[in-house]
Copies of this chain bind each other. A is one copy, B any other.
Amino acid sequence: MISVLADSQIFHNLDRGSLQVLLHHAHRRSVPEQQVIVRQGDPALAFYIVAQGHAKIAQVTPDGHPVLIRYIGPSQEFGLVAVLSGFTYPASVQAVDACEMLVWEGELLAQLIERDSRIAFNAMRILSWQHQEQQLRYQALLTERVEQRLARSLIKLAKLVGRDSDDGTLIDLRLSREDLADLIGTTLFTVSRILSRWDLEGVVRAGRESVTILDMQSLVRVASST
């Protein structure tokens, strides 16, 4: 359990003693598959680190359009805004499979940050990194075609949750065409078409709520083609 903390961004570079203290302050929370962990718009009261399982972070735009921000796994965190008083969660987080979470109350974490500035800088690094990621997403939407964005996304997901079998890499999430579409900013129809073609070409195997990457090379080529 300590190693989950040690691998996290927020508690990166802390000594074992500090980690022990932090772990001592944490609550645990188990959530079953598909359960919503925090809801967009709710007051941000707690900060979470995933100990086990995977979750997806998603928003809904004012006009009801869903936007999938990212998938996270063990040692990754969300809800950092909870340390700032008066904030609400900017997105909902939903368990993809059964999850174990470590949870700190925002106010408590704020106190810990006051005491140990290393955590403060880690927090800023996380926020900067997220901001940068978001800018890349914006740029991708602006300059890349759906094919390219899809290829990139699959590669990234494979890195996060890829499970190698004999013939390829299975992306081991309940990943529907619609999820993929919301992730890269397109429609499930376009995703379906592209995956069907890639399936024919032997690049991927397109299953029900699953994608297996058969030919990573081709995918990388598509992802990095101008």
Per-position 1/0 for A134-149, Cβ under 8 A of B: 1101110111000000
Q: Which of A69, A113, A124, A130 is packed against the most chain B CB atoms within 10 Å?
A: A124
- A123 vs B80: C-alpha distance when bound (angstroms): 13
Contact B61 A142 (CB under 8 A): yes
Contact B90 A135 (CB under 8 A): yes
Q: Does A59 interact with chain B (Cβ within 8 Å)?
A: yes
Contact B141 A83 (CB under 8 A): no
Which residue of B has the minimal Cβ distance to A65? Answer: B143
Instruction: Report A96-144 residues with CB < 8 Å from chain B CB.
Output: 110, 113-114, 117, 120-121, 123-125, 127-128, 130-132, 134-135, 137-139, 141-143
Q: Does A189 interact with chain B (Cβ within 8 Å)?
A: no
Q: Does A63 interact with chain B (Cβ within 8 Å)?
A: yes
- A226 vs B65: C-alpha distance when bound (angstroms): 12
Copies per assembly: 2
Interface range for A: 35 or more
Known: A123-B124, A128-B127. A139 touches B83 (CB 8 A): no
Q: Does A84 interact with chain B (Cβ within 8 Å)?
A: yes
- A83 vs B122: C-alpha distance when bound (angstroms): 11
Contact B117 A65 (CB under 8 A): no
Q: Does A67 interact with chain B (Cβ within 8 Å)?
A: yes
A76 to B: closest C-beta gap in Å: 16
Residues of A at under 8 Å CB distance from B? 59, 61, 63, 65, 67, 69, 80-81, 83-84, 87, 90, 110, 113-114, 117, 120-121, 123-125, 127-128, 130-132, 134-135, 137-139, 141-143, 185, 226
